[in-house]
Amino acid sequence: MARSLLEIDDLSPSELAHLLDSAARWKKEPDTAPRALEGAGVALVFEKPSARTRTSAELAVYSLGGHPVALRAEEIGIDQRESAEDVARILASYCVIIAARVFDHGVLMRMAGAVNTPVVNLLSDIAHPCQALADLLTISERFGGLEGRRVAFVGDGNNVVASLAYGAALTGLELIVSSPPGYELNENLVDRVRNLGGSIELVTDPHEAVRGVDVVYTDAWTSMGQEAESEARTKAFATWRVDSVLMAEAGADAVFMHCLPAHRGDEVTAEVIDGPVSVVWQQAENRMHTKRALFAWLVQTKESE
Ligand code: CP
Ligand code: NVA
């Protein structure tokens, strides 16, 4: 089976370090990026909306010499028009990588099981590994490395923090997660992260979580697909907002991160996200650099098998 990236722990610590290193090098010297996808197609399937992921993926493919083929869910009808497995088999006959944003993570697993072509998770209900790659590059750029840096995630125990938790475990970042009761990170995931040697602490109080940390990270209170829960979530998360009082409790050089899209006045105030400690635009730009490194590595790894 070809190597895929459905969650960050599909990578070893050295593979992850290699990806971050390539991303950083090619960001500084774009002309040194290989033409790893010369003449090849990459399928980009979206069951949910996207601005950053789609644009960064298309340009990552283009900059490696390949051709991106972006497809919306309604054009394909996964498990409606034909099965996820058949969609994967068809796309694999034209494309060297299949990347997909899906509601159900199980769809990605079925696609990856059906073909000998790398499958990349562009966000599922439980994981957002491409986001975590960009997050790690951003933290590394700001602090000159990752080992021992402390990151507090304040908010929903969702797909974004799940992938960040695996990324932290593989790179020596310390993660503290503060979520309202009922919205915590999945316990099995926390166990798995700890088994990988990760330092992950769950606390309820956001003020306790951010004390002295290097990074304060948050995400939307209501993720795509959870819109019916929006009212209940807005109530439950009301005191998990990142504002300047909370930021002031973080370390002196702390930065603010958000995967975006952001909802000013909900999970973060405009003062913080639009202020001097916010690195959200650098983080968004890094989506392209890290995806370029990932796509090149996946096809080169498959070719060398
Ligand atoms: N952060 C992120 O994945 O953004 P999009 O949903 O716009 O792709
Ligand atoms: N947790 C969010 C991330 C969006 C990039 C969602 O799944 O909608």
Phi, psi of 150 (to 5 degrees): -110, 125
Ligand 1 midpoint to CA 55 (Å): 9
pLDDT at 277: 98
Q: How far is CA 302 from the centre of its chain?
A: 23
List all residues whose CB is within 6 A of at least one atom of ligand 2: 123, 158-160, 219-220, 223-224, 259
Delimiting residues of CATH 3.40.50.1370 domain(s) in the chain: 8-128+287-303, 131-284
pTM over 0.85: yes
**Beta strands 95-101; 41-46: pairing state:** parallel
Helix (H) or strand (E) holding 178: strand 174-178
- Beta-strand ranges (E) seen in the chain are 41-46, 67-72, 95-101, 119-121, 150-154, 174-178, 199-203, 215-218, 255-258
- What is the CATH topology of the domain spanning 8-128+287-303? Rossmann fold (3.40.50)
- What is the CATH topology of the domain spanning 131-284? Rossmann fold (3.40.50)
CB atoms under 10 Å from CB of 280, counted, come to 19
Helix (H) or strand (E) holding 95: strand 95-101
Q: Which of 46, 47, 48, 50 to mutate to test the pocket of ligand 1 (most atoms within 8 A of CB)?
A: 50
Which residues of the chain register pLDDT less than 70? none
pLDDT at 305: 83
Which residue has its alpha carbon closest to ligand 1 atom 3? 53
Rounded-to-integer distance, Cα 124 and Cα 122, Å: 7
Closest ligand 1 atom to Cα of 51: 7
Catalytic residue, from 54, 142, 259, 292: name it: 259
pLDDT at 287: 99
Condensed to tens digits (0 to 9), the pLDDT of residues 128-159 reads: 999 999 999 999 999 999 999 999 999 999 99
Rounded-to-integer distance, Cα 253 and Cα 270, Å: 19
Q: How far is CA 113 from the centre of its chain?
A: 22
Active site residue 101: yes
